[in-house]
Amino acid sequence: MKATARILTVALAVLMVCVTFAAASEAPISVGIIQLVQHPALDAACEGFLAALEDNGYVDGEKITVDFQNGQGDQSNLATISDRFVSKNVDLVLAIATPAALAIAGKTTDIPVLATAITDFVEARLVISNEAPGTNVSGTTDMASIQDQISLIKTLVPDAKKVGVLYNSGEVNSVVQVEEAKRCLEALGLEFVEMTVTSSNEVQQATESIVRQVDCLYLPTDNVLASAIPIIYGVTVDSKTPVICGEDNMVKSGGLATIGINYYNLGYQTGLMAVRLFEDETLDISTMPVESQTDFDYCINATVAAEIGVEIPAELMPFAFEME
């Protein structure tokens, strides 16, 4: 009897170890999300990312746990959030926008970081090359066809001769886009007036100043300007200044038009990259090429067009909408 009891005790102990090991092996994957600031484009990217995970069976609270943190546009907040994720040793970080990606990449070289809403990963020094990142960072770029966006000026504002370019000089993404925009403007024989801001507090004054000097305004996918679009709309609708934007959420909030990417789809694409990392233990993020979208959408704000007196060509009317 004693021998039998000992055997049962040992068997029970082995069973408990196996159960404990199995439970540990099934522990949810921890995902930290660090977002620069709340605005529609970045919010859409986050929603798309989570939707891709859920569509592939990775539901928050079940197979994964998600820790979402908003940096509120503050560098010190981004640093604190990054320290939080590193101390928790999360399994993966999603970084939304370049400053957020730079913050977490500066804190860890071990935790895989997928970034989205990044215009140029190489210029931001997040990767060595888009084809072979060579770091713990990869993701999706939001670089759209700036040439096509600038061409919209000729389509919608054919009499424009001078174009204002407004952006935040502190954002690498914005600087890259603006340099390309200036080349495109010069190629079309259009003059440009360049003006920069460093925070949303400067946007109204800068907009009021630049609209007095130009026939049209171009805004890149700039996080400061995206957050301040209602302010820009208030100024430009009074001055009757057409605003060509870098992405559709800016148009939906008061810009005139764009041809650009869909940030929800971009986030979804990033989520699919995360799924591949979760399901292939041999996959190294340092070898995952940075991905981009190839399908771009027109977006025309018919409400703004009517308010500022711009006629929408018939071929673009299918892409027009009334602003709520």
Q: Domains for the chain: give ranges and CATH numbers.
A: 23-142+263-292 (3.40.50.2300), 146-260+297-321 (3.40.50.2300)
Q: Which residue has the higher pLDDT, 278 or 16?
A: 278
CB atoms within 10 A of CB 20: 10
Class of residue 171 by CB neighbours under 10 A (exposed 0-12, middle 13-18, buried 19+): buried
Q: Report the pLDDT value the prediction gives residue 24, as an integer from 0 to 100.
A: 41
Q: Report the pLDDT value the prediction gives residue 1, as an integer from 0 to 100.
A: 47
pLDDT over threshold 50, residue 25: no
Give the contacts of 86 (CB within 8 A, at least 6 positions apart). 107, 108, 111
The bridge status of strand 64-70 relative to strand 113-118 is unpaired
Is residue 72 within 8 A of residue 42, CB to CB? The reply is no
- pTM (whole model) above 0.85: no
Q: Report the pLDDT value the prediction gives residue 28, as an integer from 0 to 100.
A: 95
pLDDT over threshold 60, residue 19: no
Estimate to the nearest angstrom the gap between the alpha carbon of 24 and the chain centroid: 34
pLDDT in tens, 127-175: 999 999 999 999 999 887 899 999 999 999 999 999 999 999 988 889 9
CA distances from 261 to 96, 264, 269, 271, 319 (A): 15, 9, 12, 16, 14
- Compute φ and ψ for 289, nearest 5 degrees: -60, 145
Q: DSSP letter for 301, please.
A: E
Q: What is the mean pLDDT of the chain?
A: 91
Average pLDDT over residues 262-271: 94
pLDDT over threshold 90, residue 315: yes
Average pLDDT over residues 50-57: 98
How many CA atoms lie within 13 Å of 236's alpha carbon, on the beta-carbon side? Answer: 33
How far apart are the C-alpha atoms of 211 and 204, rounded to whole Å? 11
Q: Report the pLDDT value the prediction gives residue 288, as an integer from 0 to 100.
A: 98
End-to-end CA distance of the chain: 80
